[in-house]
Structure 1
């Protein structure tokens, strides 16, 4: 049986994981031991979950820096929903997040134990060092095809129309931050059923993601994620 929160996990990952970079990135520290905590709430301000990230390993090779990030998501009751590890590469011009890393390793293991086969394809998420208001960013996507005898399922998540909208100062419980605001359209499709929504991402130099909001197609706020702890 496919977990009912599968789509939510994919959207969460592809929307939020544009992480670290350190010396070769303006926007994210890339130091082992750095940790981030984000609190997700609904449009009424009720907490729906907590996401904790920590950098567990940093490697330098061939002029590139690669960080291993550990991620843990718990629901509003403190119950662990999933954990995952993924890698990001900083090239000096910015970062790339491997689309394969967008699929939680825990979910891959679970599906494998169930006898399912998974085929993952897509386009890496890119975030350049040099951002400016009005700048267009490249699209990103991930597609996962899941199959076993008598059953086939496809999950696809696209990020399109990525654009730097403006600069804005944001205040959270973690502090005050000067941010670039990146807007994008998101579409998820599972077995022919499509869901679309808009999101905005606030990025601060030296910190990374400070806030993200997602909206329905009519512009109504769906949920909010804010940086609530940051430690280097």
Structure 2
């Protein structure tokens, strides 16, 4: 059970980190090769729980757009490396497409007997975000278990009601940013059913600045903010 929870936790961290950077996307994602970003996660009591670091390491033309490669590292609150891997995204006509299926078992807590598989939809972020815009829904499934043995985790998450709610100014240790505020519901089926209300703040020409997750009663359960940007 502890392995299942650890896998889920790292998945959530990388889910948000994977949304955070892109090269030549224009709009709300505009990072360059070599740019490094650090994001710190906190629990509902404002205690740091993890630090995620990522870097744009490559980009190349593909059919209809640009393919982007990212390197990721996640550390726990004590600075111990939890997971490390690479992933890709794609820009098409200025819109950013992030494919959750790129998150592999290499990003999850290490175990020689553990196998992880992830399936799901692309999350699309348009070049232009206007208050009132509705964005495309998505669904994700993550399974983990022992090679040739039983499944110990089978999580489904449906992301619905994505929309641009407002524009706000967000201040973080990395600076102050004018952001588009995106909201959506995440219905998760894992050790029971629950629904989270999620909020993302995107700064034009920068990317993801802050995320928040609230329970069904509106109580904030966790959040993540940019704490350092290098090579912008």
Q: Same fold (TM over 0.5)?
A: yes
For the residue of structure 1 that corresponds to 2:218, the secondary structure is: coil
- Please say if 1:31 is aligned against 2:32: yes
The 8 Å contact of residues 104 and 116 in structure 2, kept in 1 or not, is answered as no
Normalising by the residue count of structure 1, what TM-score does the alignment of the two structures yield?
0.88
The 8 Å contact of residues 23 and 33 in structure 2, kept in 1 or not, is answered as no
Number of the residue aligned with 1:160: 160
- Deviation of 1:159 after TM superposition, in Å, equals 1.6
Distance 1:225 1:118 in 2: 25
For the residue of structure 2 that corresponds to 1:31, the secondary structure is: coil
Distance 1:12 1:52, change over 3 A: same
Number of the residue aligned with 2:74: 73
CA RMSD in angstroms comes to 2.1
Q: Which runs of 5+ in 2 are unaligned?
A: none
Out of 107, 122, 135, the residue aligned to residue 133 of structure 2 is 135
Distance 1:38 1:209, change over 3 A: same
Distance 1:99 1:47, change over 3 A: closer
Number of the residue aligned with 1:169: 169
Distance 1:83 1:9, change over 3 A: same
Number of the residue aligned with 1:230: 229
The 8 Å contact of residues 88 and 95 in structure 1, kept in 2 or not, is answered as yes
Q: Deviations over 1:46-104 (max 9, x none)?
A: 21111111111111233411111111111111111111211000011401112211345
Normalising by the residue count of structure 2, what TM-score does the alignment of the two structures yield?
0.88
Distance 2:104 2:195 in 1: 20
The 8 Å contact of residues 102 and 142 in structure 1, kept in 2 or not, is answered as no
